Structure formats: structure tokens, C-alpha cells
Chain A
Amino acid sequence: MHREYQNAIAIFSLFVILLVLSGVMIFIEKIGLSVEDIMVYYLGSEEKFIQAKSFQGLLKIVLPHTFAYGLLSMVLLHFLIFTDQRNLRRSKILVFVIFSSAFLEIVSPFLLLRGLEFFAYLKLGSLIVFNLSLLYVSYLLAKSILDSSK
């Protein structure tokens, strides 16, 4: 990796950690980390006086996230090209996992609204996989930078 870019990429990785942290905090604050919480948030609950989410309401949240997920994933993953991870099979798997989990994370609430409760599990699972994968790529980048500066 080019030495002048190393610091910028290392700090970018720290930004990613902060972004993941803030995203998880919002998720816990607004929805909760259990499947029941997710179902209540999207499908509503008469006992808790929570209204079900509308299709339009979901679209408003999904629209900026679709672009942001794609951009963030592309920017972070393309840094792997400059590391010794470039030709590894693991990198290709990571690309597939990150983009697929991002897609499932975005799409699953719509299917949950259709009454398919299984997608509450998928929502939670894809969120966890997406965030952990981002953190793992950040770790790989940081490790590569540290190794090359030795």
C-alpha cells in the first residue's frame, strides 16, 4: 500500500468503527436487539400503542441507506486491492458477504411487512453480519498498514 495513503486509510477505518457503533446504537435505541423487538417495531403492537410501519415510511429510510451502504462497502472493500489480501479467496467472499448482507438488511423489513415473520430473523442476522464484516475489513486494513510499516 502506498505510504502516503496509509494514514488516511487507517483513520478511515476508525471512522468505519465509529459509524458501525453509531448505527448499532440507533438500532438498539429505536428497535431493539431481539426478534420480538423487530416484529413490534415493524408490525406494531396494540398493547404497547405502537403503530405498524407503512410502506412509504420504510422507503424513506431505505432510500438514503441503499446509496450509503453501496458507497461505504465499495470504498472500504476497494482498499483491500492495495493490500496483500488482494488475490485471496477470502477477499472475494468478503465482497459477496458484505453486499449480500447489505441487500438483505434493506429488503427484509418490506417482506416482514408482508407478514413473513421469518424475515425478522433475517433482518437481525444480516445487520449483525454486515456490521461484523465491515469491522473485519477495517481490521484487515489496519493489520496490513501496521505490517507494512514495520
Chain B
Amino acid sequence: MKFTLVKNLSQDPLMRPILLGLLLCIALYLVVDLVVKHYGFGILPSAVNLTLFGNEDEYIDAISRTSFLEFWHMEIFFIMMILLTLCAVFIRLSGGRKRDKIIMNIMLLSALSSLVFLALGYFVSGHFIEAYSVLFIVWHLTAFYMVVFSIRNLYRA
């Protein structure tokens, strides 16, 4: 077996469909994550607040500390692995333009800070949840843009 470094991914007949599959899976993950969060944990601040702190009037229990920590822990792991994979593909397919680097940094930093704000929202003050919601949407949108951009570059002659 010969292990070679593929220099031009978009010109390689095997790497192109492989990366397309990977990028489509990441796009699907991003969409499904939004849907699942919308119906489960919540995306908008009001829904997230309800999940984290419950509501006595509606007899909704607050999430337990252990459940929250487990949720947070899994989110961190999934997000870091998916975004690192996406970045690796994006860097190889982008032309190294400054704009692309900025977009990638926005995505990574917004994802990281959304997780920090989520924990701050639960442990410190509910006010941080608004920041979490905004950053959660920002990193999903930028990640989706990076997927679309990578697919476009993959098939550009």
C-alpha cells in the first residue's frame, strides 16, 4: 500500500466524493442539531430558561445539576470534534484568504463562548442565556456557510 499526500483535494477523484459525503453529514448534523434543540433543550432564551430553571406556574421542573453537567460535557465534546473536522477541510479547500480565516475564527470562538455562556447562565445568572442563544445561532450559521463554501470549492474547476 502506498500512502501519499493528496495535494489538491478538489482534483482527486476519490477524495472529492469522500469529502462531499463528510461535508453533507456535517450539514445534516447542524440542521438536525437545530431541530432537536428547538424541540428539546430550547434555542431561544425563553425556552432555554424554562429548561434550565423550570416554571412553578406550569409545573415544569428545573433541570438537575447532574443532568445539566452531562449535557454540557457531551455538547463540548461533540462540538469540538465536529468543528475541528470542518476546519481541517475548510482550510484545505479555502484559498487562505483573510476573510475565510475571519469566518473560521468567528465560528470557533462563538461556539466556544456559547458553551461558556451556557454554563454561566446556569451557575451564575440567567442573563447570560441571551448571549448563549445568539452565539449558538451564530456558530451554526457560520459553520453552515463553511460547509457550503467548502462544497463549492470542492467542485470548482
Q: Is A63 an interface residue (CB 8 A)?
A: no
Docked complex: A1-31 residues within 8 A CB-CB of B: 4-5, 7-8, 11-12, 14-16, 18-19, 22-23, 25-26, 29-30
State which residues 71-93 of B face A: CB under 8 Å. 72-73, 76-77, 79-81, 84, 87-88, 91
A contacts with B: majority SS: helix
The main secondary structure of chain B at its interface with chain A is: helix
State whether the Cβ of B38 lies closer than 8 Å to any Cβ in chain A: no
A75 at the interface (CB under 8 A from B): yes
Q: Contact between A8 and B66 (Cβ–Cβ < 8 Å)?
A: no
A71 part of interface (Cβ distance < 8 Å): yes
A132 contacts chain B at the CB level, 8 A cutoff:
no
Q: Is the CB of B69 within 8 A of A22?
A: yes
Q: Is the CB of A19 within 8 A of B66?
A: no
Size of the chain B interface, CB-CB below 8 angstroms: 25
With A12-B84, A26-B69, A29-B66: A68-B112 Cβ-Cβ less than 8 Å: no
Known interface pairs A18-B76, A19-B80; A25-B108 also in contact (CB < 8 Å): no
**Which residues of the partner chain A approach B112 to less than 8 Å between Cβ atoms?**
11, 14-15, 18
A72 at the interface (CB under 8 A from B): yes
- In the assembled complex, B105 has its CB within 8 A of some CB on chain A: yes
Please tell me if the beta carbons of A7 and B108 are within 8 angstroms of each other in the complex.
yes
Q: Does B70 contact A (CB under 8 A)?
A: yes
Besides the contacts A8-B88, A18-B76, what 19 more A-B pairs have beta carbons closer than 8 Å? A7-B101, A8-B108, A11-B105, A12-B84, A15-B79, A15-B80, A16-B80, A18-B112, A18-B115, A19-B73, A19-B76, A19-B77, A22-B72, A22-B76, A23-B73, A26-B73, A68-B77, A72-B81, A75-B84
